[in-house]
Amino acid sequence: MTGDQAPKYSDDIADLRHVMVNRILAGVTLLAAIGAPISILRVFFTGWLPLYAVHGVIAVFVILLWLLRKRVAYRVKLIIILILFWIIGVAGLFTLGLVGAGAWWLVTSALLVEVLYGKRSGYLAMSAVAAVVLVFAILFVSGLLQLSVDTNLFSQQAAAWATFAVGAVLQPLIVFSAVGALQGRIVQLNKRVIAQAEEIQLLADTDELTKLPRRHVAYDRLEQALRIVAREKNIVAVLFFDLNGFKNINDAYGHATGDRILQATADRARSCLRASDTIARIGGDEFLVILPGVGSVDDATLTANKLVAAISAPVGSEESELTVGASIGIALAPEHGMRAEDLVNAADHAMYAAKKAGNNQIRVAESTPN
């Protein structure tokens, strides 16, 4: 991954969080618009409670925050949302204890923290929630706090149940929906990251000009072929060739023409090979061919002759045809070694022997002494 891509992924994650916080804020605004009036309607059954004032103030504040959302950073909005959840939760526990949905708001705040900032932050938030609930439990059990409403009468009121539905059902549903949307966006981002990683790997493995594999890919495939040789007792041929006269053309006609020669060489060489064979550009005008499962040196030589004939054909238009030749060295496994580096070196030495013999020549490496 390049240095300029890492910040981009970081920005993508920040954007995901921003989108999620805005969705939650939209849901909380909807809850405020619906839930606050329903909550305050309970005054006819319970009398005025400080909790209703809290709900009314929060509703006005949330609606204002929604109207100003584009001017507020998402981190600030998230902090405000978490504070509001805690105010509603603590006020609910203080006023209604287990009868209300205060604990739901606290638990949901911990869920948001974990989703947005990881398990450790979520565990800390949930520990704080557990501690607060435990304190209220002790206060109510010890009699230091008492409910200010008749629970039986309270549970018989439609407004009370409507408030519970908003706080304990609709509120988590909105949050879970936002979490689900976040997960979906993360999956999409992950797919994009994987695709970009594969593209980067392809660029690392493939020569940009000829679209052939690079040296390390060829060596890896050769090592795989050699493992099969040891197991099935067959032959692998390695052909090393470069282009005769390429430097003169490159110097006389420019790099663009030289690039066209290299591309034509790659295309023509591919047409001479089987699907199981590999051709790689290993630098400049040097190429490496791997022929797994050949029957004999004659089969490798036949392929080398095809390569020479294809590569030496003129390149360009009738007015400016250019021609290069190819010198090819051949090494065989296991005859010339069972290590990729040894075989490539043997084929390279044989290629230089072919070059000394003249243009478009082929030579087989000398046998390794026993």
The residues that are catalytic are 285
Taking the C-alpha atoms of residue 79 and residue 68, their distance in angstroms, rounded to an integer, is: 15
Structure tokens given for 81? 């949302």
* Range 279-295 burial, b when 16+ CB lie within 10 A, else e: bbbbeebbbbbbbbbbe
Q: Is residue 311 exposed (0-12), middle (13-18) or buried (19+ Cβ within 10 Å)?
A: buried
User: Which is it for the CA torsion 101, 106, 112, 118, positive or negative?
Assistant: negative
Question: What interhelical angle do 74-96 and 119-142 show, nearest 10?
Answer: 20
* Range 90-104 burial, b when 16+ CB lie within 10 A, else e: bbbbbbbbebbbbbb
* Range 321-336 burial, b when 16+ CB lie within 10 A, else e: ebebbbbbbbbbbebb
Q: Please choose, from the candidates 58, 65, 113, 43, the residue with its C-alpha nearest in 3D space to the C-alpha of residue 88.
A: 58
Which residues, including other chains, have CB under 8 Å from residue 114's CB and lie 6 or more apart?
Answer: 121, 122, 123, 125, 126
Neighbours of 308 (CB within 10 A): 20
Which residues, including other chains, have CB under 8 Å from residue 342's CB and lie 6 or more apart?
Answer: 336
- Number of H helices and number of E strands within the chain? 14, 5
Taking the C-alpha atoms of residue 348 and residue 342, their distance in angstroms, rounded to an integer, is: 10
Q: What angle do CA 287, 260, 270 make, to 5 degrees?
A: 45
Q: 112, 121 in Cβ contact below 8 A?
A: no
Taking the C-alpha atoms of residue 52 and residue 173, their distance in angstroms, rounded to an integer, is: 23
